[in-house]
Chain A
Amino acid sequence: MATSKHAVLRTEVPSDQIMRYTWVERVCHWATAATYGYCGLSGLAFFTPYLYWLVIPLGGGPTARFWHPALGFGFVGFIFWMGFLWKDDFKFIPEDYEWNRKVMFYITNQDEKLPPQARFDAGQKVFFYVMIATAVVLPLTGIVMWFPEYIPRSIHWLLPVVVFFHSVAALVSVGMIIIHVYMGTVIVPGSWRAITVGYVSRGWAMLHHALWYRKMTRGEERK
């Protein structure tokens, strides 16, 4: 293998780092994020006149109305794929219940008072299950809103009910996403690198996911 003496491009994870997300997992995350982003922004535009200007960068009102439902079903597909990829990691463990009770310590950066966490902490698991719940309500109500012209006149009274619950589910998911993006970008340094480049330092893994760190570094219980 030919190597340069002065600059070597890396093709492997550096030896002191731990692979947190494989490239397939990162593709899944960002496909979910991109489809959600379009739907979330266009949905907020349709929700209130004060945010209708959001349709401008999304291609304009009619374009946003065209893509919102189509990409919405893409989002649903991707998040269920994500659930499949991480089905073992999203299982609650006894430490999670204690973590959830002591979540105030997490919010106030007293992480040393929290129980050790596995690959995902209890907050991430709760986030995932809330998003999955909205990803069930949103397409069920959304399909009716996508093609209201096929809804018979006798059940037109159902349309505003459906729109209402679509909006409620969307607002819940927007609230969760605000927390998720805030934490991923500014509150937990190193997590942005984990979900983009894929690996984290040993210290990061030990600090935030001690059980996972032990599992990864013991070199056992590996699948």
Chain B
Amino acid sequence: MAKLLQIKAISGHAGPVAGANTSRDYDVCKLIDVTTCIGCKACEVACMEWNGYPTQTTTFDNTYQTMPDTKWNYWNLIRFNEFVHPDGSLQWLMRKDQCMHCADPGCLKSCPADGAIVQYANGIVDFNQANCIGCQYCVTGCPFDIPKFNPQTKKVFKCTLCSDRVSNGLEPACIKSCPTGCLHFGSKEDMKDLAEKRALQLRTHTPHTNAGVYDPAGVGGTHVMYVLHDIDHPERYGGLPKNPVISAWVGLWKGPMKWAGGGGIFLGLLVAAVHFLRWGPKEAEIREDLLPPVPPEATHGD
């Protein structure tokens, strides 16, 4: 089971990753079939129960949504949208929102703290609050706006895909609680297969002829996938981005600029050292005795 939590990448880490390049034959994935979600919030409760963070009062906004947004201690939220079709018909869209566990995680890419974010070979992207410094660069990097800050502890939290359960051979808590079978958990390959079958079933046997699987390539694919009624309009499901990508500015900042900056500083020190050896200090033989005397008032400053 330890293999399930084999480390793949570590944030802000200069050295090699321990255990890299060994076999990775099993990666996990959560599949959310939004077409069978009834918005019961059992997964929200199970998440709270398993992860054990204190709950808080919330605001009611006249919808079937528990609160306006996920919070540092509320990682799993069914987003509700009453969508009005052009023909005037209504559709209630329920989407279980949580960390997508990207294969190319923007949070990890942005994080400066060594070991605060760890990506396991099985696909789970986990935050390690012991190493978190609270800078929230992860918020800067995340295209899904998932990491949430706790102002008391100055640490950032998000869904762990129940890494503590998965590493012991269990499914995530939310999966276990789902009464309609809209949540599935298994290997990415198996879940992709299942998702495509379900999408095909929807296209063939229901009016949802544009049903499809949400596994965005812009972040290298995700270890949380959706089956959507209409794959062309994910934004209708509580703002799910259509083509999520890590901001190009993050790439510039963590790519060319990091090397230009680091190289520039190194080169600057090198030039200073060579300059010192070639030209050295501005030493002059000053014949103080040939200079006119200093008037007394000059010693008291300008």
**Interface of A with B (CB < 8 Å)?**
12-22, 44-50, 52, 55, 61-62, 64-66, 107-109, 111, 119, 145, 148-149, 153, 156-157, 159-161, 163-164, 167-168, 171, 174-175, 178-179, 182, 186-189, 199, 201-204, 206-208, 212, 215-219, 222-223
User: Which one of B134, B145, B284, B300 has the highest number of Cβ atoms from chain A below 10 Å of its Cβ?
Assistant: B284
**For residue B140, which residues in chain A have a CB less than 8 angstroms away from its CB?**
148, 156, 159-160, 163
- A23–B294 alpha-carbon span in the complex (Å): 21
| A61 and B253 within 8 A (CB) | no
Most B-side CB within 10 Å, residue of A44, A107, A108, A164? A164
Closest 7 pairs (CB-CB, A-B):
A203-B286, A160-B249, A61-B133, A19-B301, A13-B299, A159-B140, A160-B247
Nearest A residue to B253, CB-CB = A164
Residue from B249, B272, B295 within 8 A of A164 (CB atoms): B249
Known contacts A52-B12, A219-B297; decide if A167 and B257 are in contact (CB<8 Å). yes
Q: A222 to B302, alpha carbons, bound, how many Å?
A: 7
Q: A160-B253, A164-B252 are in contact. Are A18 and B268 (CB under 8 A)?
A: no
Contact between B302 and A119 (Cβ–Cβ < 8 Å)?
yes
A109 is contacted by which of B141, B145, B282 (Cβ under 8 Å)?
B282
B90 located at the interface, meaning its Cβ lies under 8 Å from any Cβ of chain A in the complex: no
* Cβ contact within 8 Å between B301 and A149: no
Instruction: Assign chain B's interface to a size class.
Output: 35 or more
Which of B112, B260, B294 meets A17, CB within 8 Å?
A: B294
CA distance A77 to B114 in the complex (A): 32
Sample of 7 more A-B contacts, CB < 8 Å, known A16-B288, A156-B140, A163-B140: A14-B299, A17-B299, A61-B133, A65-B135, A66-B154, A175-B264, A207-B282
On whether the beta carbons of A204 and B286 are closer than 8 Å, the reply is yes
Q: Is the CB of A188 within 8 A of B281?
A: yes
* Residues in B whose Cβ lies below 8 Å from that of A216: 294, 298, 302
Chain B residues in 8 Å Cβ range of A49: 12-14, 112, 114
Q: Which of A64, A186, A188, A212 contacts B276 (CB 8 A)?
A: A186
B258 at the A interface (CB under 8 A): yes
Is the Cβ of B253 less than 8 Å from the Cβ of A178? Answer: no
5 A–B contact pairs at CB < 8 A? A62-B154, A65-B135, A107-B279, A156-B145, A202-B286
The answer on a CB contact under 8 Å between B135 and A187 is no
A-B pairs with beta carbons under 8 A, tally: 173
Partner of B14, one of A52, A161, A199, A202: A52
Q: Which of B247, B264, B298, B300 has the most CB of A within 10 A?
A: B298
Q: What is the predominant secondary structure among interface residues of chain A facing chain B?
A: helix
What is the chain B residue whose CB lies nearest that of A206?
B291
CA–CA, A161 and B294, complex, Å:
55
* Interface positions of B (Cβ within 8 A of A): 12-14, 69, 110, 112-114, 131-137, 139-141, 145, 149, 151, 154, 247, 249-250, 252-253, 257-258, 260-262, 264-265, 268-269, 272, 275-276, 279-284, 286-288, 291-302
Partner of B268, one of A65, A145, A175, A215: A175
A174–B262 alpha-carbon span in the complex (Å): 11
Instruction: Tell which of B112, B139, B265 touches A178, judged by Cβ atoms closer than 8 Å.
Output: B265
CA distance A182 to B14 in the complex (A): 28
**A215 vs B141: C-alpha distance when bound (angstroms):** 56
Q: Tell me the smallest distance from the CB of A5 to a CB of chain B, in Å.
A: 24
Inter-chain contacts of A145 with B (CB < 8 A):
135
Q: A187: nearest residue on chain B (CB-CB)? A: B281
**Cβ-neighbour of B282 out of A111, A149, A182 (below 8 A):** A111
Q: For residue B298, which residue of chain A has the nearest CB? A: A216
Q: Which residues of B contact A109 (CB under 8 A)?
A: 279-280, 282
Instruction: State in angstroms the CA–CA spacing of A163 and B249 once bound together.
Output: 8
| B contact residues around A199 at 8 Å (CB) | 299
State A62–B295 Cα separation when bound (angstroms).
Answer: 54
Contact between chains at B261 and A219 (CB < 8 Å): no
Known contacts A159-B139, A161-B249; A18 and B151 CB within 8 A of each other: no
Query: What is the chain A residue whose CB lies nearest that of B10?
Result: A49
Cα–Cα distance between A14 and B288 once the two chains are bound (Å): 14
Q: Which residue of chain B has the shortest Cβ distance to A64 in the bound complex?
A: B133
Asked whether, in the complex, the Cβ of A187 is within 8 Å of the Cβ of B276, the reply is: yes
Give Cα distance in the complex from A178 to B298, angstroms: 32
- B257's nearest neighbour on chain A, judged by CB, is A167
Contact residue among A108, A167, A206 (Cβ-Cβ distance under 8 Å from B261):
A167
Is B113 in contact with A189, judged by CB distance below 8 angstroms? no
Max chain B C-beta neighbours (<10 A), residue from A21, A22, A52, A199: A52
- Cβ-defined partner of B265 (8 Å) among A17, A62, A175, A201: A175
CA of A49 to CA of B111, assembled, Å = 9
Specify which chain A residues have a CB less than 8 angstroms from the CB of B113 in the assembled complex: 52, 61
- Known contacts being A111-B282, A207-B284, is A48 close to B262, with CB within 8 Å? yes
